[in-house]
Chains A and B, each alone.
Chain A
């Protein structure tokens, strides 16, 4: 099967009908979260769902159109981030091809995934912000020695998140966490250039903290995204995993 044929196959009539439903899910669940006053967005469940059911190209289209339609109708400030949503959809599609939404992981493995991921993420954020302050890529062992307690606490929180939140969806959760880091990296330049690095929401406190320590604007913006995005995308992937476990096999087969 050629490359263009494989793209065409993703966009069957069923996919085209599924995409508006998915975008509506993104928008309405996003609003539901505001009603519940939870500190996450969860506005990409539909995007991840299309990526998982139809493939990466369809997922990317769903993500991009979500932000464009949002921008056209309710929320103009979402428009510049359409490419980030597209990458999230594409990554969900690739993750689905690797089978993360079908696989069931034992809970101890989910706990390990959580622990290791949050340990690594902390190391990454601290490296980027230290580099921004001092212009030198820091030594990992130095960082761990300097912030030892922080690393231990975060690794324990990660273990707990893996064991109690992800439970048997360890693989899907890991895919969501990685997607979140990628989203944070690619959205930071736009957030920094277009919006001066802030969102006008509570997460701006993170930006303020890093700016106060002398970190650059781009690195502070990235750090803010890297603190909030992975958790948000992890929960989105987890919910899609639950949905796919509950959907009849007949629906998934096409």
Chain B
């Protein structure tokens, strides 16, 4: 693969060597656990007790913590400010002037931040340690249409080319006197002269590419072989089934909990 956009960090840890489907199932199980277990502390426990140890094992914990911090911090600030100050009626923890911090709002904010951490970190567990093309390759093997794989892998490769094209369009239009800075109205006026050339020039070669891939038997119905064979073990297959079972159990538990405690 040439230049491509991806969070993937090359490595040779046990996590990297796991079959992509195993990592995908793991991510889904963690995600569901974080949402279904109805206690505020659960998502923090899952992050510290499950996600972080796996990330350390995979040698991706530094990047993970950095990304989680960068993504979650603005959310966390917003949630705490909005939900603790503007909760409405609640038990005030302490008040200053007309503002008061409500206990219920703080608990809600804690729960929300925990869930965001679980969502982001479990996705990162998958994407930091898995090459997107091998994930798609594995998905094709279990029945995802080859067209979807083509779309995902191609997109990841053409985005950098498009970014370069966008940069040169900005330069070209600026050199012709287009104003891309200044007040809101001026910047809005710059929108169409930048977007239209990008879109129109991108559409031009669609036709040729369609002919090119059809000439390479894209639509041939027979089964195809793959250059990269992804190793899978029976232990991992069993682990995946166990995680599926776990997912069913978690959902069952959540339904039981809702029926028992909400009425």
- Chain B binds chain A: yes
Collect the chain B residues with CB atoms within 8 Å of residue A242's CB.
192, 196
In the complex, what residues of A have CB within 8 A of residue B219's CB? Answer: 13
Is A108 positioned at the interface, with any CB of B under 8 Å from its CB? Answer: no
A71 within 8 A of B: yes
Nearest-neighbour CB distance to chain B for A13, whole angstroms, equals 5
Which residues from B are CB-within-8-Å of A204? Answer: 78, 82
CA distance A199 to B82 in the complex (A): 12
Q: With contacts defined as CB atoms under 8 Å apart, how many contacts are there between chain A and chain B in the complex?
A: 190
Instruction: From B71, B119, B155, B163, name the one whose CB has the most chain A CB atoms within 10 angstroms.
Output: B155
When the two chains form their complex, are residues A16 and B187 in contact, meaning their CB atoms are under 8 A apart? no
**Nearest CB in chain B: distance from A29 CB, A:** 6
Q: Which residues of A contact B88 (CB under 8 A)?
A: 211, 214
A28 an interface residue at 8 Å Cβ cutoff?
Answer: yes
Number of chain A interface residues as a range: 35 or more
Query: How far does the alpha carbon of A111 sit from the alpha carbon of B24 in the complex, in Å?
Result: 50
Docked Cα-Cα span, A27 to B152, in Å, equals 13
Q: How many residues of B contact A (CB 8 A)?
A: 72
Residue interface bits B125-156, CB-to-A below 8 A is 1, else 0: 00100001001000000000001101110111
A79 contacts partner chain B, Cβ-Cβ < 8 Å: yes
- A74 to B5, Cβ gap below 8 A? yes
Asked, given contacts A73-B6, A198-B82, A208-B82, whether A28 binds B112 with beta carbons under 8 Å apart, the answer is no
Q: How far is the CB of B124 from chain A (nearest CB, A)?
A: 6
**Which A residues between 38 and 65 are near B, CB-CB below 8 angstroms?**
38-39, 42, 45-46, 49, 61, 65
Whether B158 contacts A20 by the Cβ 8 Å rule is: yes
Q: Is there a chain A Cβ closer than 8 Å to B259's Cβ?
A: no
B162 touches A24 (CB 8 A): yes
Minimum CB distance partner of B205 in chain A: A21
CB of B253 closer than 8 Å to a CB of A? no
Contacts of B108 in A (CB 8 A): 196, 217
The reply on A14 being an interface residue by CB < 8 A is yes
CB of A197 within 8 Å of the partner chain: yes
Is the pair B191, A25 in contact by a Cβ cutoff of 8 Å? no
- On chain B, the residues within 8 Å of A239 by CB distance are 191-192, 195-196, 199
Q: Which residues of B contact A79 (CB under 8 A)?
A: 119, 123
0/1 string, B200-228, CB within 8 A of A gives 1: 10110011011001100011000000000
In the assembled complex, which residues on chain A have CB atoms less than 8 Å from the CB atom of B214? 13
Residue numbers in B under 8 Å from A27 (CB-CB): 155, 159, 162
29 pairs of residues in contact across A and B, judged by CB atoms under 8 Å: A14-B210, A25-B162, A32-B194, A46-B199, A73-B156, A76-B71, A76-B120, A76-B123, A77-B119, A77-B120, A194-B115, A194-B116, A194-B119, A196-B115, A197-B79, A198-B75, A198-B82, A200-B77, A200-B78, A204-B82, A207-B78, A208-B81, A208-B86, A211-B82, A212-B86, A239-B196, A239-B199, A243-B199, A246-B196
Nearest 3 pairs between A and B by C-beta?
Answer: A196-B112, A200-B74, A211-B86
CB within 8 Å of A: which residues of B? 5-7, 35, 67, 71, 73-75, 77-79, 81-83, 85-88, 108-109, 111-113, 115-116, 119-120, 123-124, 127, 132, 135, 147-148, 150-152, 154-156, 158-159, 161-163, 165-166, 170, 180, 184, 187-188, 190-192, 194-196, 198-200, 202-203, 206-207, 209-210, 213-214, 218-219
